[in-house]
C-alpha cells in the first residue's frame, strides 16, 4: 500500500523540479535519508520553513520602515538565499539574488553621495539591474524612490515564491508521514506475527 504513496511522492517532487520550484540539491538531500535517519528530509524542511518565515517577517518589517536599513536587510536576504540554496529551493533563491542586487544598487555610495551633496533633481543617474531587466535614467531622488519600489516588489515575489514552496512542502511531508506510518504498522505486524509463531513453537 505504501508503494502508491511513494509514487505520488516521486511525482510531486518531479513536478516541483519541472516547475523550477526545486533543483537537484533537494534530490541530494533525499538521498541522505535512510533507515538510520528516516526523518531527515522532514527535519530539514521544518527547520528551513521556520527559519525562512522568520527572515521574511523581519524583511517585511525592515522594508516597511521610513528609513530602511538596507545593509541589515541585505544580511537577512543573504541568509535566506543561503538556506534556500542548501535545500534546493530554486525560485526562492533566485528571488533572493534579485533582491540583493536591487538592494546593492540602492546602497551604492555614489547614489547616496550624489543625492546628499546637491539634491540635483535634474541630474541623470543610470541604473542597470540585469537580472531584473530594469534599466532607467533618473535624477538621484527619483532613482532612490524607484529602487525602493523595486526592492518592495521583489520582496513580494519572495513571499509569493515561499508561500508556493511551503504548500508543496506540506503536501510532501504529509506523504512522507503517511508512508512512514504504513511501513511502521507493517513492521509491527510482522514483528507480532513472528512473536506469535515463536510462542507457539515453544508450547
Instruction: Identify the bridge partners of residue 89 per DSSP, sorted by sequence position.
Output: 22
Where in the sequence is the domain holding 27, given as residue range(s)?
Answer: 2-109+153-202
CATH number of the domain residue 54 falls in = 1.20.120.160
Q: Is residue 131 part of a domain?
A: no
The domain total for the chain is 1
CA 167/CA 162 separation, integer angstroms: 9
Q: How far is CA 117 from CA 94, 108, 125, in A?
A: 35, 14, 14
Nearest to 59 by CA among 78, 40, 35: 78
Residue 68 within a domain: yes
133: left (phi over 0), alpha (psi -120 to 50) or beta: left
Q: What is the pLDDT of residue 114?
A: 45
Q: Is 81 helix (H, G, I), strand (E, B) or coil?
A: helix
Burial category of 99 from C-beta neighbours within 10 Å (exposed 0-12, middle 13-18, buried 19 and up): buried
In a domain, 64, yes or no: yes
- Please check whether residue 29 lies inside any domain of the structure: yes
On whether residue 115 sits in a domain, the answer given is no
Kindly state whether residue 32 falls inside one of the protein's structural domains.
yes
C-alpha cell at 152: 518592495
Residue 37 maps to a domain: yes
Residue 36 is placed in which grid cell? 538510520
Distance (Å, rounded) from C-alpha 74 to C-alpha 106? 11
Three-state DSSP at 22 gives: strand
Residue 69's CB is within 10 A of a number of other CB atoms, namely 12
Q: Given this model, what pLDDT does residue 195 score?
A: 53
CA distance 69 to 147: 14
119: three-class secondary structure by DSSP? coil
Q: Does 122 fall in a domain?
A: no
Mean pLDDT, 10 residues at a time, over the chain (203 residues)? 90 97 97 90 96 96 84 91 98 94 70 45 46 56 74 94 98 93 68 51 51
Amino acid at each position: 500500500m505504501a508503494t502508491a504513496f511513494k509514487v505520488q511522492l516521486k511525482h510531486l517532487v518531479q513536478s516541483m523540479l519541472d516547475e523550477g520550484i526545486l533543483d537537484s540539491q533537494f534530490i541530494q538531500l533525499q538521498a541522505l535519508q535512510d533507515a538510520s535517519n528516516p526523518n531527515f528530509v522532514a527535519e530539514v524542511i521544518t527547520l528551513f520553513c521556520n527559519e525562512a518565515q522568520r527572515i521574511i517577517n523581519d524583511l517585511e518589517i525592515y522594508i516597511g520602515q521610513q528609513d530602511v536599513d538596507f545593509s541589515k536587510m541585505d544580511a537577512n536576504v543573504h541568509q535566506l538565499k543561503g538556506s534556500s540554496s542548501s535545500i534546493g529551493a530554486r525560485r526562492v533563491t533566485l528571488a533572493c539574488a534579485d533582491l540583493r542586487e536591487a538592494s546593492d544598487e540602492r546602497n551604492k555610495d555614489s547614489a547616496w553621495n550624489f543625492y546628499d551633496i546637491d539634491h540635483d533633481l535634474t541630474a541623470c543617474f543610470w541604473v542597470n539591474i540585469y537580472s531584473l531587466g530594469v534599466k532607467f535614467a533618473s535624477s538621484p531622488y527619483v532613482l532612490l524612490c524607484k529602487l525602493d519600489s523595486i526592492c518592495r516588489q521583489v520582496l513580494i515575489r519572495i513571499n509569493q515564491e515561499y508561500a508556493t514552496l511551503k504548500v508543496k512542502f506540506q503536501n510532501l511531508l504529509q506523504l512522507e508521514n503517511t508512508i512512514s506510518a504504513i511501513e511502521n504498522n507493517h513492521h509491527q505486524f510482522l514483528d507480532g506475527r513472528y512473536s506469535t509463531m515463536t510462542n507457539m513453537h515453544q508450547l
